[in-house]
Amino acid sequence: MASLYTQQSRNVLRTWVLMGTFLILVILVGFVAAQYYGNASLLYVATGIAFAMNISAYWFSDRVAIASTGAYPADPAQYIELHRIVENLAITAGLPKPRVYIINDPQPNAFATGRDQKHAVIAVTTGLLGMMNKTELEGVIAHELSHVGNRDILVMTVAVVLVGVISMFANIAIRMSYFGGNRDREGNNNPLVIIGFIAAIILAPIAAQLIQLAISRKREFLADASGALLTRYPEGLESALSKLGAYAAPMQRASTTTAHLFISNPFGTHAAGQWFTKLFSTHPPIAERIAALEGLEV
């Protein structure tokens, strides 16, 4: 039977797989671009960037996530109740208290980030604080602490940087091809190379998105269950999820790069409804998550 420790080990493995896949994708795009433009230095540049970004993703991706969402430290005096809830639940979970951040946004939402339990951050929106009662807020915080406890935050946070970089590379390649680039006169005009280049700039961001989705779905169910067990009151998280599901408006700074971090879809819960949009959603439907909690025994 899988335990917390096996889940932690799997997330560490997923992180290495994610970083390795990123490395291969970027080098592949660099290779195809080098062939297309007849410039071998593009491959060397792509390889160097790939290694540098892998290192940066591990050490600095939490700062990128915080900056991307506009989060700022929660003043302990102004948000004393929030700090108290985070501290009490962290003690119950046997975890160091994460740093607490606030996002000034009316949408109720929250996320956890950081490379390990000692460098964890929990951020909540002002909309969440205004909408949730104490038991509901405890359910949300317990959910995020579960991400910290089973090391979901490691793979989730690394994905923020790596998926963003792949998308950036693809956008640059598309713009270069659109404007003709600076292709050398002796560049490779082989139709197969051109097709490969086009395929690379199209498939690379799709592959990055699929990687992102692969680490996003099941972990939400697990964090819901773990959070409910932590508070011993699943009804609190169920009620919180119901309120999250009823809020349709997107966050002001919603981004595909950080969407998988949040407890609820930052683009609005009604953004995903049909089977196709559900396939590319970073979150399971709220109704399915509530149903899973209702069948949970604590």
Give the residue numbers marked as catalytic.
144
Tokens at 11, concatenated: 């997330």
Residue carrying the six token digits 């970089």: 165
Please provide the DSSP assignment of 238-272 as one string.
HHHHHHHHH--SPPTT--TTTGGGBSS-TT-GGG-
Integer Cα distance of 210 and 217 in angstroms: 11
Number of continuous H segments (helices) and E segments (strands) in the chain: 11, 4
Give the angle 268-17-162 at the CA atoms, nearest 5°. 50
Residue carrying the six token digits 């000692």: 118
DSSP structural state of residue 124: E
Integer Cα distance of 197 and 164 in angstroms: 20
Q: Which helix (H) or strand (E) holds 40?
A: none
- Cβ atoms 268, 248 nearer than 8 A: yes
- Cβ atoms 26, 200 nearer than 8 A: no
- Cβ atoms 188, 36 nearer than 8 A: yes
Neighbours of 59 (CB within 10 A): 11
